[in-house]
Amino acid sequence: MFDTLAKNFTQLFSSLASKKKLTEENISDAVRKVRLALLDADVNYGVASALVKRIKEKALGDEVRGSVTPDQQFIKVVHEELIALMGTEESTLKLTGHPSVFLLCGLQGSGKTTTCAKLAAHLMKKGKKTLLAACDLQRPAAIQQLKLLGSQIGAEVFSLDGEKRPLKVAKKALEKARKEAFDVLIVDTAGRLHIDAPLMKELKELKSSLDPQEVLFVANATTGQDAVKTAKEFDEQLEITGSILTMLDGSARAGAAISITEVTQRPLKFEGIGEHIDDLQVFNPQSMADRVLGMGDVINLVKKAEEHIDEKESEKLEKKLRKAAFTYEDYLSQMGKIKKMGSLKSLFKMMPGLSNMGDFEFSEKEFQKTEAIIQSMTPKERRERVELVPSRRRRIAKGSGTTIDDVNRLVKGFKKLKKLFKSMPKMKSMSKFMDNMPKEKMSWQ
């Protein structure tokens, strides 16, 4: 995600690294390149112009500390201004109703129905009893799609067979939600290929009747400034409370994410980062600024880790590592936890120092091969209670569909890994571990 923009920023910052100090001349040249990079990423023209103006003013006015190099100082300014532009902090959902009603709207093809289910899954993880209302009666497969997604996450979906009036479905869904003490009602609505009067009339009626706590505009990030323009038009008609951008994992350009809050003056609340039902995360301006500048995404990496890795288990594992008691069995268990956090490629993208490595890829096949080799070991072999002599290695290779060389590489690499872990400084939590990871160009913090 945002690879081109991150690469452009990295090249720009590298060109400043050779400067002895920031001057009006090199700052002017740098902000010109920032502006071009932003426009190339499809950032709104007005937003890009205002942003580079603020960056230039701040860079010229900032006092440079002796311990900070010119490139680090400029990165600091750009980073801070990007965060300020996108909203400074995470925006929370208003859960004040009984139930709280969230009306999702947007054009056809924005991923609205899938986002309804993803949002329901997000809320259910937080213990919120959530009802989905199928009010998209324009698209033939919309109701069936929502029911299928609802069954995947264990969420009830309300619909009325044969009903053609979305308002009636919504009212009945609200009655059910109140009667059965649901915490949240999420309403899926019809989209169009473009904004038209019937669409807006339908949405206005739904909003007036339901009095929702949130009116969330859903847009496909790959449409760039079209998404921002449409968000503005929806806001003028409906007074949206925030936006959700889908397909941010597939968009090489960050224009919509950077521009939408400034243009609409409404917060960007969530971002869709993949096709899986769990691939919806709260939008964090600092996290986005980090990614845009090629610094990885430590914030969301820590969130993923803390969600899937139990703190007590981590402490037990650390003790094993320090005593060199870490076994192949432990290794296999940890690999399983890593897989739950997402694809290896997406995890490496989040890591500072690995986020902007161009064609670098960690092979998922190698990961699977390692799993197969360990799974082909006997319980005693996995717990290192017997030596892996050549005859055992041949049997393991045959059982896993790999070669002797593959097994030998794993054994050698595992021994190195144990030595590495034993020498690592003590960490009390995953967030502490991530805090100690090297960060690209972030020594100004």
pLDDT tens-place string over residues 154-204 = 999 999 998 999 999 999 999 999 999 999 999 999 998 888 898 999 999
Given a cut of 70, whether residue 353 has pLDDT beyond it is: no
Q: Please give the Cα distance from 295 to 444 (Å, whole number).
A: 13
Sheet architecture: strand order including 242-246: 156-158, 130-135, 184-189, 100-105, 214-220, 242-246, 268-272, 280-282
The mean pLDDT value of the chain amounts to 83
First to last CA, the chain: 24
Task: For residue 167, give the nearest of 218, 103, 237 by alpha carbon.
Answer: 103
Contact between 362 and 345 under an 8 Å Cβ cutoff? The reply is yes
Tokens of 205: 């009626």
Beta bridge partners of 133: 158, 187
| pLDDT confidence tier of residue 11, bands split at 50, 70 and 90 | confident
The predicted structure's pLDDT at residue 14: 83
pLDDT of residue 444: 35
Q: Categorize the per-residue pLDDT at 360 as very low, low, confident or very high, splitting at 50, 70 and 90.
A: very low
Question: Is 50 exceeded by the pLDDT of residue 366?
Answer: yes
**CA distance linking residue 190 with residue 203, whole number of Å:** 9
**Cis peptide before 390, with omega less than 30 degrees from 0?**
no
Give percent above pLDDT 70 in the chain: 79
3-state secondary structure of 142: helix
pLDDT confidence of 69, banded at 50, 70, 90?
Answer: confident
- Taken in order of first residue, the domains within the chain and their CATH numbers are 3-86 (1.20.120.140), 100-283 (3.40.50.300), 302-435 (1.10.260.30)
DSSP string computed for 298-355: HHHHHHHHHHHS-HHHHHHHHHHHHTT---HHHHHHHHHHHHHT--HHHHHHHSTTTT
The residue-averaged pLDDT of 324-334 equals: 80
Burial (CB count <10 Å: 0-12, 13-18, 19+), residue 387: exposed
pLDDT on residue 348: 55
pLDDT of residue 363: 56
Position 346 scores a pLDDT of: 58
Q: How far is CA 213 from the centre of its chain?
A: 24
- Taking the C-alpha atoms of residue 106 and residue 227, their distance in angstroms, rounded to an integer, is 9
